[in-house]
Amino acid sequence: MPADTPAALGYAMPAEWEPHERTWMAFPTRNDTFDTAEGLEAARTAWSAVAAAVAGHEPVSLVVAPGDVEAARRHLKAAAPAPAHPVTLTELPLDDAWMRDIGPTFLTGPASPTGEHGLAAADWVFNGWGAQDWASWEDDQHVAEHLARLAGARRFASRLVNEGGGIHVDGAGTVLLTETVQLDPGRNPGLTKAEVEAEIHAHLGTSHAIWLPRGLTRDYDAYGTRGHVDIVAAFLRPGVVAAHHQPDPGHPDHEVTREIIALLRASTDAAGRPLEVVEITAPTATHDADGAPLDWSYINHYVCNGAVVLCAFDDPRDQQAADVLARAYPTRAVHLVDAREIFANGGGIHCITQQQPRV
């Protein structure tokens, strides 16, 4: 391992359940995703509801495109007139609003000899989820660098095309990856698994990768990510992973999730422990009004200080999922926040949030 990588210098990505300094988000701005005035307003309302839920437990920093500040203030005030923690606005040029993917992956490590605190940031190459023809990333490709500077983090630029939604760590050496993301020809043509793992481990401080074969079916449609892991599997603690379970044999994800759950159950973590798999059943709604399979998933939740912000779908299984996560995080409140509008635009609550760990 080169001597100047984050891992070699003692940095690593903490698990999401470790204490946060703040959460970073981005406010939706007009683009090909939010392409109508009504759609943009609906997205801004949904994003603001998530910001309000998180701000009940920790500070939120919201990146806002120039010209959108007043709209952001209006939506935030409607969502939470007096949040427990501040929501601060930072103006930066934006193409889209998926902070998990465009923001940096924050790391913690030892303080430097000059007294700088031990916060660092892995800055992956962002190219619009594999240079998809609808995506724009002229501005978004620079967001991670801007945020690292604003947070006072030591920045480490990676050569790997990757997004935060394409990784999930247990904070104890294990990382989840997906073959159709990091090995996507639109992202990293020609790279082998070994080469991807070397770059991932060098920047996250991990030592063991578990590769899932693919993501959920809908994620390969237009506006999909081609298989992000954070909608299908997420660590709950070292040795324990939550997995999306689609019980309906008529849904294409029925076989997908069976395969993934079986793979996870046959896997071990960095410490050599067999994984315990906690299945979280998909909502009862399986297809949208056009007959396309839904990828609604409770796996795409966000763990912040004192709470779990969980996707809700006005579905009978919302509370079941909340109960599972309440057992997994007994010291945290579980807040159900309607995520249907977020999913309609291509992601979920985890996709629009990015934690900055406390050091």
Q: Starting from the edge strand earliest in sequence, which strands make up the sheet with 307-312, in order?
A: 302-304, 307-312, 333-338
Burial 194-214 (b: 16+ CB within 10 A, else e): eebbbbbbbbbbbbbbbbbeb
Query: Which active-site residues does the annotation give?
Result: 351
CA angle, 122 as apex, 118 and 124 as ends, to 5°?
Answer: 170
